Structure 1
Amino acid sequence: MKQFYKSKSLLRLSFLFIVLFSVVSVANSCKDDDDEEFTDHMVQFEVKGSQNVVPKTIVTQVGTSQNTMYNTVQTPITYPWTSGEFFVNSSQSQLNLAANAELPNADSELIVTIWIDGEVAKTDTVTGAGVKSAAVAHSFLEL
């Protein structure tokens, strides 16, 4: 009977050890997760064109928030146009900038640029005559 009692205690002790080891393992694995926190970035949109370019529309988008500006008598758009600097949290994931304009000559240019933390993140240049469009997009997500 003593032998049976000892093996039962050993079984309980082994079970307790396995449960304790499992809890410690799970706690350590959760502690080692390297989830990066979202960070704030200084962002600026910029649209510029060569001489005599007539802007038509500028569209900006941060995350799901879109803003469209039309060149009208009440709200004229002048080149170079900048949004001014503003903070964007990287949780917003997506930045978009698009513009179209009337380019007078074959060598006229329309340039759209997204600046992030003082550096050019994305830029697009179109050249030619007529109504031309340029667009850039930047994602904070790493795929």
Structure 2
Amino acid sequence: MKQFYNLKSLLRLSFLLVALFSLTTVVNSCKDDDEDEFQDHVVQFEVKGTQNVVFKTVVTQVGTDQSTIYDPVGTLWTSGEFFVSTSQSQLNLAANAELPEANSQLIVTIWIDGEVAKSDTAKGTGTLSAAVTHSFLEL
């Protein structure tokens, strides 16, 4: 009789452990499903030139959407802030300008969430270009 009682207790304990393990597995697997695969970021493109720099072209690209601006006025051009999903994966910014003096500079910058993500500077005289790219893909 005692042996039958111990076998019954052992079966109950085994069933309880299997149920507890199954519940723990289900709860842990549900936690991973709640996370979003892609995130949104605030992005801004910026092109600056020192005094007397004349912009010729500014080219921006978010994912596969490309935009070209010809002859922007002034020595500072910004895109304004906009949201970009990391699903877009790639940001590109390029500009060229006429730099009149040896110490003239053309600076292109990609800002992400208020911080400089990438920047490039062209210095010298003549028609020079600067370009930067940023990828959201983690390699």
- TM-score bracket, normalised by the shorter chain, equals 0.7 to 0.9
**SS state of the match for residue 68, structure 1?**
strand
Question: Contact 2:41–2:85 (CA<8 Å) still a contact in 1?
Answer: yes
What letter corresponds to residue 134 of structure 1 in structure 2? Answer: A
Deviation at 1:121, TM superposition (A): 0.2
Is 1:92 equivalent to 2:88 in the alignment? yes
Supply the distance in 2 between the matched residues of 1:99 and 1:129 (Cα, whole angstroms): 15
State the TM-score, normalized to the length of structure 1: 0.74
Structure 1 ranges of 4+ moved more than 4 A: 26-36
Deviation at 1:78, TM superposition (A): 2.2
Question: Where in structure 1 are there 5+ consecutive unaligned residues?
Answer: 1-23
Q: Which residue of 2 aligns with 1:108?
A: 104
Taking the TM superposition and a 5 Å limit, the aligned residue runs for 1:1-143 are 37-71=37-71, 76-143=72-139
Question: Contact 1:70–1:77 (CA<8 Å) still a contact in 2?
Answer: no
Q: How many residues align?
A: 119
Q: Deviations over 1:65-100 (max 9, x none)?
A: 0000111xxxx4322100000000111000000000
**SS state of the match for residue 78, structure 1?**
coil
State the TM-score, normalized to the length of structure 2: 0.76
**SS state of the match for residue 91, structure 1?**
helix
Question: Contact 2:91–2:135 (CA<8 Å) still a contact in 1?
Answer: yes
Question: Contact 1:49–1:110 (CA<8 Å) still a contact in 2?
Answer: yes
Supply the distance in 1 between the matched residues of 2:102 and 2:36 (Cα, whole angstroms): 47
Supply the distance in 2 between the matched residues of 1:52 and 1:133 (Cα, whole angstroms): 16
Supply the distance in 2 between the matched residues of 1:101 and 1:79 (Cα, whole angstroms): 10
RMSD value, Cα: 2.2
